[in-house]
Amino acid sequence: MSTQRYSVAPHPIETLLAWVKSGEVAIPEIQRPFVWDATKVRNLLDSLYQGYPVGYLIAWRNPTIRLKDGSLAAGKRILIDGQQRVTALMAALLGREVLTRNYETVRIRIAFNPQEERFEVANPAIAKDAAWISDVADVFAPSTSVFRLVTEYCERNSQTSRDQVFATIERLRKIVNNHVGVIELAEDLDIETVTEIFIRVNSAGAELSQADFAMSKIAVNENHGGNLLRKAIDYFCHLAAAPEFLSRIEKIDPAFAASEFFQQMRWLKDVNDDIYDPTYTDMLRVAFTSEFSRGKLQDLVALLSGRNFETKQFEETIAEESFGKLKRGVLAFINKTHFDRITMILRSAGFVTSSLIRGRNVVNFAYILYLRGRAESMPAADLEQLVRRWYAMSILRRRYTGSPETMFDFDIRQIEARGLADYTRSVIDNELPDSFWTGMLPQLLDTSSSSSPYFMAYQAAQVKLGDKGFLSRDITVHDLLMNRSDVHHVYPQKHLKGLGLPRGRYNQIANFVLAQSEINIAIGARAPEVYFAEIAAQVNGGARRYGGIVEPAGLRANLHMNCIPETLLDGQVPDYDDFLEQRRVLMALKIKRWFELL
């Protein structure tokens, strides 16, 4: 008995493109950033022209679900592998615009030289060269007359053979007749199996994830507004990164512009804040987990398909209810008040720039907590404090670093069972006991990674506590982060390199302070015993070399703010390793004080 759970059939490229245009196959990536560069598109066309294989596509027809009247309905196909190739063909052959990673709308033009039978990415020089057809999409346009195209080309290139050019153009046009193998997964496969297949075939792919699978599932459903919902997710992410795109949405998509989603996101047109520019994965995680009390996106795919987890059947009522809940989650996510509040909470904890926010999933779960607390009508001040403290705990304990979906699922189920306030309080107390601050955190600060969450927390602590920059009289750490600051090595980098220390040793974060550029430049490569002696002299009537502090009390206060042992002022300059050890303890205590203020 065969165990094969799929069929393989060749289909002409022309048929595949027709399926996409008609909506028979869902490829939401046409609306999202295209990750291939133009040379890969050129190479794909050349492979087709040469008759080479270009790989299989994998499609899965949505599971058959039971409708309210008891009848069965089969869904449309979801393309779960091959989306980039099909999008590339839509762009090159049909002239479709694509979005770049920077959310710029561009045409990918691939040029063709009939005499050399060669493809190239179009450029200004090619556009001026009569030997090239600067855009192959012109060859495939329905209105194109091959006779006229060849005649005009030969008039520009008088030495060419009309018959040869005609044959070459015909060969090019026939690449849409090339067959591509489509592996169609069995309709009766369960969601878990299809998910496993999806993960395996994309294990070496680019930027494909469970979220892509979920977005395909959303896009293919028209009965419950899936296509509109998918656009809402895409467009919000686009507008968050490029607010000027709003006028283009109004122009190119009037149907969406008339929807309730668009009205809810119009506020983004005036926002240039990048502290939290969510991706569609972020939006799906937050909307799904906050509304469904589940953390694994494969469960979202199952529920949107109408999966009844108890009977293992697919039911229309469950699909309808799931789309409704996801819609509520998306509307809650894009709500201006909600979005403003979560970014305000991050800032109020000291995370005032996007450079201080490394773990996106930590922000996502903080937003989930905020939305849950808001739905439960928790007092605003209590909710803000809860979210701040959870966010801080999460980065200090790297809670969502390893397996974020598993931890999301665990946390949200515990919140559902034990209550938001009680569960978060118990976790924070358990994760951050007194021994964490005095024993574990100083050890965690033993790292050379400037993007370490502990260094991010330390900088946020300095912002929250109103600390001044190293040796600055007036300029705060907040000012430095919002404008321009240097990460200065207390024991200068060149000095330590001269002593033979490797990069991982001289770049310890316990050797970092934020300083004004002019102070950093003034210190240069001076040994600490040299420039600290000059600083001590400065506040005792000596020459002003470093910043504007001229009083001993002000200097000691500044060193305290920046966790620098004051013994350095007294000529007691410790060995570098001893200095690092002392400073890690002081930095940990500052982070503890910061957490207690949250």
pLDDT digits (tens, 9 = 90+) for 12-58: 999 888 887 777 776 654 445 677 889 999 999 999 999 988 888 88
Q: What is the DSSP letter of 63?
A: P
Mean pLDDT score, 545-567: 93
Q: Which residues pair with 183 in a beta bridge?
A: 8, 58
Q: Which of 45-59, 167-181, 187-201 has the lowest mean pLDDT?
A: 187-201
Report the run of H or E that residue 192 belongs to, with start and end: helix 191-201
Examine the fold and report which residue of 410, 432, 454 is the final residue of a domain before the chain moves on: 432
Decide if 58 contacts 180 (C-beta within 8 A): no
- Whether residue 73 is predicted with pLDDT greater than 60 in this model: the reply is no
Examine the fold and report which residue of 432, 455, 483 is the final residue of a domain before the chain moves on: 432
Between 420-431 and 360-375, two packed helices, what is the crossing angle to 10 degrees? Answer: 150
The b-or-e profile of 335-351 (16+ CB within 10 A means b, else e) is: beebbebbbebbbebbb
If asked whether residues 486 and 519 sit together in one domain, one would say yes
| Residue 185 resides in a domain | no
Mean pLDDT score, 184-191: 74
- Whether residue 271 is predicted with pLDDT greater than 50 in this model: the reply is yes
- Whether residue 484 is predicted with pLDDT greater than 80 in this model: the reply is no
Examine the fold and report which residue of 119, 149, 175 is the final residue of a domain before the chain moves on: 175
Q: Can you list the pairs that 153-160 forms with residues at least 24 positions away whose Cβ atoms lie under 8 Å?
A: 153/114, 156/130, 157/115, 157/130, 157/131, 160/114, 160/115
If asked whether residues 503 and 392 sit together in one domain, one would say no
Write down the mean pLDDT value for the chain: 88
Higher pLDDT, 472 or 61: 472
Residue 320's nearest CA partner among 129, 3, 65, 24 is 65
If asked whether residues 274 and 409 sit together in one domain, one would say yes
pLDDT in the model for residue 196: 67
Higher pLDDT, 131 or 570: 131
Tell me how many domains the chain contains: 3
Q: Is 446 helix (H, G, I), strand (E, B) or coil?
A: coil
- Whether residue 125 is predicted with pLDDT greater than 80 in this model: the reply is yes
pLDDT in the model for residue 252: 82
Q: What are the start-end ranges of the E strands in 95-242?
A: 97-99, 105-107, 110-113, 118-121, 179-185
Q: Could you tell me the pLDDT band of residue 389, with boundaries at 50, 70 and 90?
A: very high
| Residue 104 resides in a domain | no
Mean pLDDT score, 534-546: 91
- pLDDT, one tens digit per residue, over 329-358 is 999 999 999 999 999 999 999 999 999 998
| Residue 52 resides in a domain | no
| Residue 528 resides in a domain | yes
250, two tokens: 């109004």
If asked whether residues 494 and 408 sit together in one domain, one would say no
pLDDT in the model for residue 216: 75
- Whether residue 206 is predicted with pLDDT greater than 90 in this model: the reply is no
Q: What range does the domain containing 511 cover?
A: 445-597
If asked whether residues 251 and 393 sit together in one domain, one would say yes
If asked whether residues 476 and 569 sit together in one domain, one would say yes
Mean pLDDT score, 417-425: 96
Q: Which of 82-96, 366-380, 533-547, 579-593 has the lowest mean pLDDT?
A: 82-96
> Which single residue is written with the structure tokens 């980065």?
395
- pLDDT, one tens digit per residue, over 142-160 is 999 999 999 999 999 988 8
- Whether residue 205 is predicted with pLDDT greater than 50 in this model: the reply is no
Q: Could you tell me the pLDDT band of residue 207, with boundaries at 50, 70 and 90?
A: very low
| Residue 584 resides in a domain | yes
pLDDT in the model for residue 429: 97
Rounded to whole angstroms, the maximal C-alpha distance in the chain is: 94
Q: Phi and psi at residue 348, in whole multiples of 5°?
A: -65, -20
Work out the burial of residue 467: count CB atoms within 10 Å of its CB; fewer than 13 is exposed, 13-18 middle, 19 or more buried.
buried
Q: Which residues pair with 97 in a beta bridge?
A: 107
If asked whether residues 151 and 214 sit together in one domain, one would say no
- Whether residue 204 is predicted with pLDDT greater than 80 in this model: the reply is no
| Residue 154 resides in a domain | yes
pLDDT in the model for residue 202: 56
Q: Could you tell me the pLDDT band of residue 530, with boundaries at 50, 70 and 90?
A: very high
pLDDT in the model for residue 403: 86
Q: Could you tell me the pLDDT band of residue 475, with boundaries at 50, 70 and 90?
A: very high
DSSP calls for 42-60 = HHHHHHHHHT-----EEEE
Nearest-angstrom CA–CA distance, 420 and 412? 9
If asked whether residues 237 and 126 sit together in one domain, one would say no
pLDDT in the model for residue 190: 67
If asked whether residues 422 and 449 sit together in one domain, one would say no
Mean pLDDT score, 518-532: 92
Q: Could you tell me the pLDDT band of residue 67, with boundaries at 50, 70 and 90?
A: very low
- Whether residue 366 is predicted with pLDDT greater than 50 in this model: the reply is yes
| Residue 9 resides in a domain | no
For β-strands 77-81 and 25-26, DSSP reports them as parallel
If asked whether residues 449 and 427 sit together in one domain, one would say no
| Residue 302 resides in a domain | yes
If asked whether residues 286 and 369 sit together in one domain, one would say yes
Residue 57's nearest CA partner among 84, 96, 88, 92 is 84
If asked whether residues 124 and 162 sit together in one domain, one would say yes
